[in-house]
Amino acid sequence: MTGYYDFVLGVIPLALFGVSGALTVVGVGTTISVLVAASIAVAFMGHALFVRTPTDRKSAETDRTTDHSSRVETNPVRSD
């Protein structure tokens, strides 16, 4: 089963080689095409790191299933 991060890992070399190769074939200079392709790859990595942040799935599920409203708080005993 492939996930989002598997997709990102596949897109990085595809962006680097595919986009730079396509731009070079079209007639854009090699330096510019590599810079554009690297910018696209960095954009995908930034999205994967900062927008869809990697989290520990087990701890995320624990946080969602923990019901904090079911705690019973007792009143402290007053000594008058």
pLDDT along the chain (80 residues), means of 10: 84 94 95 95 92 71 58 65
pLDDT at position 73 is: 60
What is the full DSSP assignment across 25-71?
A: HHT--HHHHHHHHHHHHHHHHHIIIIIS----HHHHHHHHH--GGGP
Task: Give me the residue spans of the domains in the chain.
Answer: 26-53
pLDDT at position 3 is: 87
pLDDT at position 74 is: 67
pLDDT at position 67 is: 55
CB 16, CB 38: distance < 8 Å: yes
* Whether pTM exceeds 0.85: no
